[in-house]
Amino acid sequence: MREMLPVIGSSVFFDLIKSVLLLLILLIVRMIVVRSIRRNQTLTIEAKRRWIVTIRNSMVLGLFVGLVVIWAHELEAFAVSLVALAATVVLATKELILCWSGAALRVGGSVYGVGDRIQLGTFRGVVLDHDVFATKLLEIGPGLTSHLYTGRIVVFPNSLLFTNPLIKESPSQEYGLYLLSVPLMSSENWQAAEHALLEAAKAECAPFMDQMGRQMKLLEQRNLLEAPSPDPRITLQFPEPGRIHLVLRYPAPDRGRSRVEQAILRRYLAAVRH
């Protein structure tokens, strides 16, 4: 027994050295690669941020796999005990496991990435960063219908992906269809308001209607579905007695829909007040 102790101690010592060396090598490689990415003038800021996040997460995965390989023979000796321990750990770290599972869902399903605009429950914004535990957003608001940056940073755990539907507001196309609701009293002349709102939308959306039409045709061919017409349309809703909502569906550039929305509203208000 005494002869085995030095052997076990020596084995653990060498495994520790290997682990430290692996960590140092990964840190050096990450530093070199990140520095080269930051100095690359051909990449956009968003592309640089996306590459840096990908490299960091890849290094963490590489470190985890390397440590498992290095310590595999040590872990094998405690395999039976680890089974009982694992059950206890699962119960104690349920939320962490859900976060890791959410990260696996995000990666496996390509749910979202850095730069995407998403809405998850009450959280809405542009993805700045993500890891195996949480996702960081630059908040957009106020509310779920505005398109302005609030300047606040929102961090939510990846476990929320299993309990809330996720909406991806930037569906990787240059243009999209969006909704704008204009409330009216039922006593107002809603026909004149509808005409003014539709004309305002047509005037503001005219410069990019051709590009929007071509994109809809490509979407139709790629997904084998009948794409909706990109022309501005209005539907009527009655949210409560005595009130009417004019719901405008209009096309706009994904990166400029706030500007288009405000231009439509300003043109509409100028028309109804004359």
Domain check: are 165 and 186 in the same one?
A: no
CA-based nearest residue to 229, from 248, 251, 211: 251
Of the residues 124, 140, 172, which one is the last residue of a structural domain?
172
Whether residue 189 is found in the same domain as residue 267: yes
For the chain, the first-to-last Cα distance in angstroms comes to 98
Mean pLDDT in residue range 55-82: 80
Q: Show the domain range for 224.
A: 175-272
Q: Is the pTM of this model over 0.85?
A: no
CATH number at residue 231: 3.30.70
- The residue among 30, 50, 74 that closes a domain is 74
The pLDDT of residue 7 is 47
Q: Which of 40-54, 91-105, 217-231, 259-273 has the highest mean predicted lDDT (pLDDT)?
A: 259-273
Q: What are the strands, taking DSSP E only, across the chain? A: 117-120, 123-130, 134-141, 148-157, 166-168, 175-185, 233-237, 243-253
131/179 same-domain check: no
Counting residues of the chain whose pLDDT is more than 90, the rounded percentage is 15
Per the structure block, which two tokens stand in for 94? 């349920």
How many residues are given for the chain?
274
Q: Is the domain of 183 the same as that of 159?
A: no
The residue from 111, 139, 172 where one domain ends is 172
Query: Helix (H) and strand (E) counts for the chain?
Result: 8, 8
Query: How much is the pLDDT for 28?
Result: 92
- Asked whether residue 39 falls in the same domain as residue 55, the answer is yes
Same domain as 267, residue 191: yes
Same domain for 182 and 163, yes or no, is no
Same domain, yes or no, for 65 and 98? no
Alpha-carbon torsion (146, 148, 150, 153), positive or negative: positive
Token pair 């050096």 in the structure block, residue: 28
5 pLDDT more than 60: no
Closest to 57 (Cα-Cα) out of 24, 34, 90: 34
The model's confidence at residue 171, banded by pLDDT at 50, 70 and 90, is low
Tell whether 50 and 118 lie within a shared domain: no
**Do 164 and 179 fall into the same domain?**
no
- d(CA 147, CA 261) in angstroms, rounded, equals 9
Q: How confident is the model over 187-208, as pLDDT tens digits? A: 888 999 999 999 999 999 888 8
pLDDT band at 9 (very low <50, low <70, confident <90, very high): low
Residue 82 pLDDT > 70: no
